[in-house]
Amino acid sequence: MTTMSVDRIIEDYLGRLDAALDRLPASRRRQLIAEITEHIEYGKSQLPDQTESAVRDLLDRVGQPEDIASEALAEEPQQVEKKLRHGWIVATPALVVLVLGGIGAWAVVAHDHQGTPPPRHVANTIPKTTTAPTSAPSTTAPTSAPSTTAPTSAPSTTVPAPTGPTLATCTSAVSSYYIPPVSWFDGGTISSDQGVGYGCMNQEMLANAMTSVVNAHATPTSAGVASGQYALNSAGQIIVPNGEVIALYQDVCNVEPTSTLCVNG
């Protein structure tokens, strides 16, 4: 059993845990994963031989991800209920917009068909490709976020990077990334989710943590773009470290039209 395959077993376990904790509020979920990751890494460092059986025994002692999730949900029923309610609050207007948008689009298409011949090719104004890197970033995620083409006059608002374990304190497979504080515009208020701030986790987990927070809220903020919590690519898409598109630049400016990023952009 090689070191890499042992690390893979741990990664798989943490992936299962991440999925099992899906119903928890994002910050709690990240906090719990960070603590259990620390637990596993410490336990692993104490093993005389890091064999597959020893690591599996360690994970057995930690427990089944589903049991941990069940315990976590039992400890936080109010928060989960709140999250579910929030999901409906966000989803319901979105559904209405989607339905109305669909009706509107149908009306426009129907009108075009009556007056002019349909275009031979309708270009997608928002390309699907992104400029996000797929390789592992460096140990400090705020500076390892995808390169951005945001206007140089972007506001200087930054959220201090949290301190925590560095790559040297984590295994090669479960690399260390900062989870930057994520800010969002949520119905008139700009908020920030500090979460645990950091932890030993791989790029996929980092991206999941970022997107789960962003998906739980309305729109990322221009300050978030400026501080590298999200990146802005040349297509005007707001993306998280794995390159996933989470919003459009225009969406941010629609809710923050007076921000420096939008005024000067």
Partner 1 sequence: MAQMRRGAIEYCVLALLRDRERYGFELTRALAESDGLVSSEGTVYPLLARLRQDELVETFWQESAQGPPRRYYRLTKKGREALETFVVQWNSFRNTVDTLIEGGGPP
* Chain residues that interact with partner 1, rule: CB under 8 A: 28, 31-32, 35-36, 38-39, 41-43, 45, 60-65, 67-68, 71-72, 74-76, 165, 169-170
Strand partners, 192: 183
Q: Which two tokens stand for residue 72?
A: 């976590």
Nearer to partner 1, 170 or 232 (CB): 170
For residues 116-149, one letter each, b for 16 or more C-beta atoms within 10 angstroms of the residue's C-beta and e for the rest, the string is eeeeeeeeeeeeeebbbeeeebebbbbebbbebe
Least separation in angstroms between CB 102 and partner 1: 42
Nearer to partner 1, 3 or 147 (CB): 3
Q: Please, what is the Cα angle at 131 between 125 and 133, to 5 degrees? A: 155
Nearer to partner 1, 49 or 60 (CB): 60
Least separation in angstroms between CB 240 and partner 1: 25
Nearer to partner 1, 28 or 217 (CB): 28
Least separation in angstroms between CB 197 and partner 1: 11
Least separation in angstroms between CB 19 and partner 1: 15
Q: Given strand 245-248, what is the order of strands in its sheet?
A: 231-232, 237-239, 245-248
Least separation in angstroms between CB 201 and partner 1: 14
Least separation in angstroms between CB 126 and partner 1: 39
Nearer to partner 1, 80 or 248 (CB): 80
Nearer to partner 1, 38 or 251 (CB): 38
